[in-house]
Amino acid sequence: MLAYSSRQRIDRPMYFTRNNNAPLWPKAGLRLLAGVAALLFFLSLPLGAGAQDFAAPKATPPPAPIKGEEDPGYFEIREASTQLKNGVYFLDALIEYRLSSEARSALQSGLPLTIRVEVELLRKRRLWFDSEDATLHQRYQLEYHALSERFTVQNLNSGDQTSFSTLYAALDWLGHVNQLPLLDAALVEPGHEYTVRMRAVLDAEKLPGPLRLIAFWRRDWSLGSDWYRWQLQGG
């Protein structure tokens, strides 16, 4: 029990120690020495170490793309239109060809690839399916020649052949259809509405037997664009 004289007034709280009459500076001095020691230790660290240790963790970078990933490829018709000149409808189209990794490998190994462009003329009929009045299949054979290291594109309908130094140049030329004669205007009946649709596909029927079976099941060989449609008014 703590005792004190009734004549003495206490203006501040007392600290609970074993001996209230003992001075308090030794404990305060120990705390001060501990703080100085911690400061000296921190200052002794290499410059930037403290910031490096207590910095917020960096965000994990996104995974790098896998090298050698297979390219599935695609065919896409960007635009197409027809023009009537001297009684004949001519076709202009822009097609983007991108071969799959497997198709490019087979091509560079000496396997010719056949690309088929299909154009159909449909006549609109009421309360019934549209009538297919005309069809055009344009076939091109793409081939790589190892000795000359060149690519050739042959029009299988006309027999014309063109040579290119790169695959990109060959596909780019193949994708530009300019003023291709489509149909005689006499086949278009006046007063009827006609729709022209067009698509480009890799012709699997021209592949060798074993590869032809694989092409029906593998996406790498099932390359083909969607149907692109536009209106053709009767003359």
67-110 residue pLDDT tens: 556 888 999 999 999 999 999 999 999 999 999 998 999 899 89
Task: Please check the confidence at residue 123 and state whether its pLDDT lies above 60.
Answer: yes
Distance CA 95, CA 90 (A): 16
> Taking 60 as the threshold, does the pLDDT of residue 43 lie above it?
no
Report phi then psi at 196, rounded to 5. Answer: -105, 130
Mean pLDDT of 47-71: 48
pLDDT of 157 reads 92
| Contacting residues for 164 by C-beta, under 8 A, at least 6 apart | 150, 151, 152, 153, 170, 173
pLDDT band at residue 216 under the 50/70/90 scheme = low
Spatial separation of the C-alpha atoms in residues 103 and 150, rounded to whole Å: 17
Give the pLDDT score at 61.
46
| Tokens (6 digits) for 16 | 């609970």
**Start-end of H helices in 62-195:** 101-108, 167-174
75 class by beta-carbon count within 10 Å (0-12 exposed, 13-18 middle, 19+ buried): buried
pLDDT tens string 146-190:
999 999 999 999 999 999 999 999 999 999 999 999 988 888 888
Does residue 13 have a pLDDT over 50?
no
pLDDT at 214 > cutoff 90? no
Q: How far apart are CA 119 and CA 100, in angstroms?
A: 24
